[in-house]
Amino acid sequence: MSQDLSDYRKTYEKSELLEGNCPENPIELFRDWFLQANDSEMVDEANAMSISSIGLDGFPKTRVVLLKKYTHEGFIFYTNYNSEKGKAITANNKVCLSFFWAGLERQIIIKGRAEKVAENLSDGYFESRPDGSKLGAWASNQSEVVANKQVLTDNLSRLEKEFKNKEIPRPKHWGGFIVKPVSIEFWQGRPNRMHDRIRYELQKDFNWKLERLAP
């Protein structure tokens, strides 16, 4: 089976990105773009991002997670530390995040190093989750092979009974990572494939160097 996609075409002309409109700190530009994406009817789940890591098998792998907080220090998401993703990041903390907001013709690519957040931060976020999501963190040994779906359903049912009318604590194997960026690239689609690409790179003095890249 094959399909030729060479005639797929789209012109990008909704906006442009100029150096004169870029702040010194890329987190400020990220905030502006994120708020615009979040307010846009053309974007669903503005906080959905791809994260790429190098697996224990040596292969890169990309999957979608949800950004839960960003600060001037970095970008925070939560996961099972014992999952394939968690183990990969623990072994090699160099990762790449990517946001693609097709409706705005924008992409952001973030290279950085991931670290576990403080336990009290993971506790605080876990407490804010619905009970069903809390139980899901206990019921699923994320990325492990299971015999069938019924195993997971049974686990969840057992935990619902066990924690009925009780506080559900955070599993120690579940928590947050913060990705501290070393490079952030902003991509704005433009006509004739002459896209705007502005890259910020963190310097040794912790200031950011801004450069334009050829499309």
Q: Which of 74, 112, 117 is nearest to 95 (CA)?
A: 112
Q: d(Cα 75, Cα 181) in Å, to the nearest integer?
A: 8
Point out the catalytic residue in the list 9, 158, 190, 193: 193
Is 129 a known active-site residue?
no
Q: Which residues in the chain belong to E strands, given as ranges?
A: 48-54, 60-66, 69-70, 75-80, 94-101, 106-116, 174-188, 196-202, 208-213
User: What letter represents residue 197's amino acid?
Assistant: R
Q: d(Cα 110, Cα 96) in Å, to the nearest integer?
A: 6
Q: Which residues are catalytic?
A: 193
